[in-house]
């Protein structure tokens, strides 16, 4: 079997999730890999700057290649290979000579499509290609960011209780927008006491509204300095938060380890990391929870490596995910096959087109979980009507 075509399309619509609950446009790229035997696979890519060029590059490299050689493809693209007579010299390094950015994001989505294709070729679900399933109900954690009017405590309560009443047992909010009306200096990475007090007040309203059996987490979006990350963690300690996510900028494991040393809340980080970066942060003692994303790590197999490395250190796995339903299902296959799985993020509640552009024959969510089926591959098809309605660029992939 050989790869014959790699195509993509962009679908776009309203994002009801984002900053302050305001509507804005959002979209994803869907990738399809076709073969000379009629089998094809589907993947999803975040449409960040440079990824379309990266997919063009991958098309040149993969056309004519064996689609089942998934790990050699990912390894070559991220880390290169030794010079050899059989290969052009330009392919001995990754296309950007560094395993970060657009090439990793494009590889991640194409790898997702190759996993779907391989599952269909072997007539088995993708979780079986990753070692088999520990579970087939995957706990979803709902990212709710913040309400439209952050100064209105009733809106905080309503947002949290609505997610709880929809069946979600883990709910996340974004610290940086919780009290942005009290930011005093937008550059210095500090949280002034007045702002800290507002963050505590608003999240306390959430905790009191949803009760003490619902897990709550908070995301710092990599904004804060070490001192105020620690002060923030201590101020929020009584709320029994499940984790504090990305309190400091992401590139310094020593700074995050200093926060972790003094934080009464578990530290979770790594949503944009590849395997090498997780190794560095785990080895430095900077993480209580690893938080990879199948869209940014290099794909499903790389994410499984991260999960297993963490598990060897008895560190649990949460899966970051701000993609659409296709990426959510792909991540759910990794969750099924990872012993240390805690929860998988869902970011697009309220943006129905991102839920509806795939069809699995069952609803996406089932009481706060995704239920995996035993269909081959990722177990999904495109919903052509939704894709046609929301398609803005590329080629209709049917
Ligand atoms: Mg985050």
Q: What's the pLDDT tens digit per position in 312-359?
A: 999 999 999 999 999 999 999 999 999 999 999 998 887 899 999 999
**Per-residue pLDDT averaged across 18-33, rounded?**
79
CA of 221 to the centre of ligand 1 (A): 6
Report the share of the chain in percent with pLDDT over 70: 96
Q: Is the pLDDT of residue 97 over 80?
A: no
CA of 74 to the centre of ligand 1 (A): 25
- CA distance linking residue 138 with residue 136, whole number of Å: 6
Residue ranges and CATH numbers for the domains of the chain are 3-124+386-394 (3.30.390.10), 137-378 (3.20.20.120)
Beta bridge partners of residue 91, listed in sequence order = none
| Closest listed residue to residue 257, CA positions, set 233, 234, 236, 283 | 283
**Per-residue pLDDT averaged across 108-128, rounded?**
98
The pLDDT, as a whole number, for residue 98 is 77
- CA distance linking residue 365 with residue 357, whole number of Å: 14
CA of 174 to the centre of ligand 1 (A): 8
Q: Which two tokens stand for residue 209?
A: 């509204």
Rg of the chain on CA atoms, in Å: 21
pTM for the model: 0.96
- CA distance linking residue 119 with residue 376, whole number of Å: 5
The pLDDT, as a whole number, for residue 26 is 87
The pLDDT, as a whole number, for residue 90 is 54
Mean of the per-residue pLDDT values of the chain: 94
The pLDDT, as a whole number, for residue 19 is 53
The pLDDT, as a whole number, for residue 319 is 98
CA of 274 to the centre of ligand 1 (A): 15
pLDDT band at residue 80 under the 50/70/90 scheme: confident
CA of 272 to the centre of ligand 1 (A): 9
pLDDT band at residue 212 under the 50/70/90 scheme: very high
CA of 339 to the centre of ligand 1 (A): 22
Secondary structure (3-state) at 192: coil
Q: Is the pLDDT of residue 84 over 60?
A: yes
Q: Is the pLDDT of residue 88 over 70?
A: no
User: 381-382 and 289-290: which strand pairing?
Assistant: unpaired
CA of 137 to the centre of ligand 1 (A): 23
CA of 223 to the centre of ligand 1 (A): 11
């Amino acid at each position: 079997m050989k790869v014959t075509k790699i195509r993509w399309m962009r679908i776009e619509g309203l994002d009801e999730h984002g900053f302050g609950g305001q509507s804005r446009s959002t979209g994803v790229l869907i990738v399809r890999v076709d073969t000379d035997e009629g089998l094809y696979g589907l993947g999803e890519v975040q449409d960040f700057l440079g990824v379309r060029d990266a997919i063009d590059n991958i098309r040149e490299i993969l056309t004519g290649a064996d689609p089942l050689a998934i790990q050699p493809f990912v390894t070559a693209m991220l880390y290169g290979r030794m010079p050899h007579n059989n290969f052009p010299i330009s392919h001995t390094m990754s296309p950007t000579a560094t395993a970060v950015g657009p090439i990793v994001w494009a590889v991640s989505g194409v790898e997702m499509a190759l996993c779907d294709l391989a599952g269909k070729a072997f007539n088995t679900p993708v979780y079986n290609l990753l070692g088999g399933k520990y579970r087939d109900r995957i706990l979803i954690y709902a990212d709710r960011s913040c309400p439209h009017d952050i100064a209105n405590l009733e809106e905080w309560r309503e947002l949290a209780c609505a997610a709880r009443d929809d069946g979600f047992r883990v709910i996340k909010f974004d610290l940086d927008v919780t009290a942005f009306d009290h930011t005093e200096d937008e550059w210095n990475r500090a949280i002034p006491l007045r702002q800290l007090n507002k963050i505590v007040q608003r999240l306390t309203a959430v905790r009191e509204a949803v009760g003490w059996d619902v897990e709550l987490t908070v995301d710092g979006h990599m904004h804060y300095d070490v001192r105020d990350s620690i002060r923030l963690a201590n101020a929020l300690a009584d709320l029994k938060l499940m984790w504090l996510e990305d309190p400091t900028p992401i590139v310094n494991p020593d700074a995050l380890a200093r926060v972790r040393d003094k934080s009464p809340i578990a530290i979770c980080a790594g949503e944009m990391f590849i395997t090498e970066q997780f190794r560095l942060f785990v080895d430095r003692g900077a993480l209580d929870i690893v938080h990879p994303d199948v869209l940014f790590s290099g794909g499903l197999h790389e994410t499984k490596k991260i999960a297993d490395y963490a598990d060897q250190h008895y560190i649990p796995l949460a899966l970051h995910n701000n993609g659409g339903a296709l990426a959510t299902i792909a991540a759910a296959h990794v969750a099924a096959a990872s012993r240390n799985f805690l929860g998988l993020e869902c970011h697009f509640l309220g943006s129905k087109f991102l839920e509806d552009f795939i069809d699995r024959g069952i609803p996406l969510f089932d009481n706060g979980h995704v239920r995996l089926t035993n269909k081959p591959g990722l177990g999904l098809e495109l919903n052509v009507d939704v894709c046609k309605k929301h398609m803005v660029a590329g080629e209709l992939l049917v």
